[in-house]
């Protein structure tokens, strides 16, 4: 808190000094960028814009603003396959010595799921379950016969998959020791700009 007050005090002294000389303090809109892997990011402050290249760790707007001018840095265009959020991007020039916004970008993520058939309850009415695993880091989903109608229904993994990331879905074998044998179709691929919903889990009575 003391540093914030000190910064504001320095800015006010600078503004007062320049005002006495007939001018206004000028401030540069700038900040840091984290995890920008793709191109296309454009930031805006009103009509002033700046394009930020992939891999950049900082940005600076071409136009400075006068002391006391309000600013609001926004994402005009997200980078390809990513979304970005801004922290500290609005305020009034002169409240602190410098304007330092923080831009953090993340890869877009999408759901992974599909349909199941043949997952019926046991003869005594007990629900049967099957667990699917998406690789070692993509999470798992447990599907119950109680969640379908006549052994059929849909399912979605709770863990989403990032754009450009591969997925590989398999059946966890211990869950199939209940009188059913289950297989997965369309279980491998690469996530790309849309949710995947064409996985098919098919269960049949174990011979």
3-state secondary structure the chain: CHHHHHHHHHHHHHHHHHHHCCCCCEECEEEEEECCCCCCEEEEECCEEEEECCCCCEEECCCCEECCCEEEEEEEECCCCEEEEEECCEEECCCCCCEEEEEEEEECEECEEEEEECCCCCCCCCCCEEEEEECCCCCEEEEEHHHCECCEEEEECCCCEECCCEEEEEECHHHHCCCEEEEEECCEEECCCCCEEEEEEEEEECC
| pLDDT higher than 80, residue 11 | no
Q: Which of 107, 139, 164 is the last residue before a domain boundary?
A: 107
Q: Which of 78, 107, 136 is the last residue before a domain boundary?
A: 107
* 97 lies in the same domain as 123: no
Domain interval for residue 149: 109-205
pLDDT at 175: 54
Confidence of residue 23 (pLDDT cuts 50, 70, 90): low
pLDDT at 12: 43
| pLDDT higher than 90, residue 182 | yes
pLDDT at 61: 98
Over residues 91-98, mean pLDDT:
92
Q: Which of 89, 107, 125 is the last residue before a domain boundary?
A: 107
Percentage of the chain exceeding pLDDT 90: 76
Over residues 83-111, mean pLDDT:
96
* 37 lies in the same domain as 103: yes
| pLDDT higher than 60, residue 206 | yes
* 39 lies in the same domain as 73: yes
Q: In this predicted structure, which of 2-6, 80-84, 98-102 has the lowest mean pLDDT?
A: 2-6
* 48 lies in the same domain as 65: yes
Contact predicate 55/83, CB 8 Å: no
Closest CA to 172 of 161, 159, 187, 191: 187
* 103 lies in the same domain as 8: yes
Q: In this predicted structure, which of 11-25, 29-43, 47-61, 67-81 has the lowest mean pLDDT?
A: 11-25
Confidence of residue 189 (pLDDT cuts 50, 70, 90): very high
- Cα distance between residue 125 and residue 103, in whole Å: 54
Residues in the chain: 207
* 120 lies in the same domain as 183: yes
* 155 lies in the same domain as 82: no
Q: Which of 123-127, 167-171, 202-206 has the highest mean pLDDT?
A: 167-171
Between strands 41-45 and 29-34, the pairing is unpaired
- Cα distance between residue 204 and residue 206, in whole Å: 6
Number of domains in the chain: 2
Per the prediction, the chain carries an average pLDDT of 88
* 24 lies in the same domain as 94: yes
């Amino acid at each position: 808190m003391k540093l914030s007050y000190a910064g504001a005090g320095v800015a006010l002294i600078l503004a007062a000094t320049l005002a006495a000389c007939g001018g206004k303090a000028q401030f540069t809109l700038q900040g840091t960028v984290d995890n920008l892997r793709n191109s296309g990011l454009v930031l805006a402050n009103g009509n002033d814009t700046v394009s930020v290249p992939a891999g950049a760790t900082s940005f600076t707007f071409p136009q400075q603003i006068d002391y006391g001018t309000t600013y609001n840095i926004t994402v005009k265009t997200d980078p390809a396959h990513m979304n970005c959020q801004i922290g500290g991007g609005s305020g009034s020039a002169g409240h602190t010595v410098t304007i330092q916004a923080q831009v953090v970008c993340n890869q877009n993520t999408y759901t992974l799921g599909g349909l199941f058939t043949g997952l019926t309850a046991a003869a005594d009415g007990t629900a049967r379950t099957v667990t699917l695993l998406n690789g070692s880091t993509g999470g798992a989903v447990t599907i119950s016969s109680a969640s379908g109608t006549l052994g059929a229904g849909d399912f979605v993994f709770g863990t989403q998959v990032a754009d450009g990331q591969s997925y590989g879905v398999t059946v966890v074998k211990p869950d199939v020791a209940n009188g059913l044998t289950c297989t997965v179709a369309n279980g491998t691929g690469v996530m790309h700009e849309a949710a995947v919903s064409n996985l098919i889990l098919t269960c049949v009575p174990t011979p």
